[in-house]
Copies of this chain bind each other. A is one copy, B any other.
Amino acid sequence: MTRPELVLLLAGFGHVGRRLVGLLDEMGSRLAFSWRVGAISTRRHGSALSPTGLDAARAAAHVASGGSLAGLTPAPADRVGLSLIREACRMFTDEAAGGRLVLVETTVLNVDEGEPAMSHVQAALEARAHVVTANKGPAAIAYRELAALAARMDRRFLFEGAVMDGLPVFNLVRETMPGVRVESFRGVINTTCQHVITALANGREMADAVADMQASGIAEADPSLDLDGWDAAAKAAVLANVLLDGTLTPSRVTREGVRGLTGDDVRAAARGGRRLALVASGARHPDGGAHARVRVESLSADDPLAALRETDNALYLTTDLLGEVGIVQRTSTLTQTAYALVSDLTTIGRGL
């Protein structure tokens, strides 16, 4: 059986985007699809566009060492961002018509307007490209509109990596729990805050703990997104919108961060046999819609979230037919985030 070839347009080429092309190379024949990169757009390193495919590994090395993509193609693309995506969609109209063109959106999170990701996603879907993204913004801010647009265009809008990296959350519910109604969720879904709370307990400074996470590519570029609970709130909004038929945005999630916590707070909880964690939760309203909140909770020892280690994430779903179901991720790496994009690309490849 020949595998379908996907043409990837990479909007954003930071840690996640670069790890993705490496992982795709490593996975090789284990993939249900073959691929080539048609375009790359970055914020600070220029852009590149080629009908026959770019050398993704070379592009990743260039950008990682601070270089520009300009030298990569004979006639470098002079557009970036939205206008590059539009140009690429015009270049690959046949692939778009055949359902083989995919925008891979990995620009940084913006919790207010979701830009530039929102415009990228919209433009791609309107041009009949599929969209896969690890960016929480679009689904946190406008899930319903984007899902409707994707349905109208007969294309996929997938974002498995938005919550818990490569661990299946949305795929889990959609593919393996047919007919099951999710009533509520509760989880620890921000690794940086887990790490900060552990570091505080050990007498370290919050700033040092954040620096660790930035160095490993896990913390958001703007650490206030993690520390003030915005990242968790955006994830909670996506979970509520997708699993609970909510219409939330990150700013409509009741939100509290870890910034006010001290080592004393964490140690005092531990002396009482409890554990502090930034917990995101959400539930359906009896009359439709959903609400969600993010806050520091003091967990009793028999709370399943209290058993998590520093780098663990966990999400528990309360359902009608399966009772309470949990998924646990026991380490969080860039490979896992990149894998989320691979699993979404596989969903598209399997559909061809």
Residues of chain A having any CB pair with chain B under 8 Å: 23, 27, 30-32, 166-168, 171-172, 175-180, 302, 304, 306-307, 309, 314, 316, 321-331, 333, 335-336, 339, 342-343, 346, 350
- A322-B167 contact given A302-B309, A304-B307, A327-B327, CB 8 Å threshold: yes
Q: Which residues does chain B contribute within 8 Å of A179, judged by CB atoms?
A: 27, 30-32, 342, 346
Sample 22 A-B pairs with CB under 8 A, ordered by A number.
A23-B321, A31-B178, A31-B179, A166-B321, A168-B172, A168-B176, A175-B175, A175-B176, A176-B176, A177-B343, A178-B346, A179-B342, A302-B307, A304-B307, A321-B335, A323-B329, A323-B333, A324-B330, A325-B327, A325-B330, A327-B328, A328-B328
Complex: how many Å from CA A326 to CA B330? 8
Q: Which residues does chain B contribute within 8 Å of A321, judged by CB atoms?
A: 23, 166, 335-336, 339
Q: Which residues does chain B contribute within 8 Å of A306, judged by CB atoms?
A: 307
Output the nearest chain B residue to A180 by Cβ-Cβ distance.
Answer: B339
Output the nearest chain B residue to A333 by Cβ-Cβ distance.
Answer: B323
Q: Which residues does chain B contribute within 8 Å of A23, judged by CB atoms?
A: 321
Complex: how many Å from CA A325 to CA B313? 10
Complex: how many Å from CA A30 to CA B168? 22
Complex: how many Å from CA A168 to CA B329? 16
Complex: how many Å from CA A336 to CA B321? 6
A101 CB → nearest B CB, Å: 20
A172 CB → nearest B CB, Å: 6
Complex: how many Å from CA A328 to CA B32? 29
A275 CB → nearest B CB, Å: 11
Judging by beta carbons under 8 Å apart, are B331 and A178 in contact? no
Output the nearest chain B residue to A318 by Cβ-Cβ distance.
Answer: B330
Complex: how many Å from CA A328 to CA B330? 13
Q: Which residues does chain B contribute within 8 Å of A350, judged by CB atoms?
A: 178
Complex: how many Å from CA A165 to CA B302? 23
Judging by beta carbons under 8 Å apart, are B309 and A330 in contact? no
A277 CB → nearest B CB, Å: 14
A318 CB → nearest B CB, Å: 9
Complex: how many Å from CA A342 to CA B320? 14
- A323-B336 contact given A172-B168, A328-B328, CB 8 Å threshold: yes
Complex: how many Å from CA A54 to CA B346? 41
Complex: how many Å from CA A130 to CA B306? 43
Q: Which residues does chain B contribute within 8 Å of A346, judged by CB atoms?
A: 178-179
- A329-B336 contact given A168-B177, A176-B343, CB 8 Å threshold: no
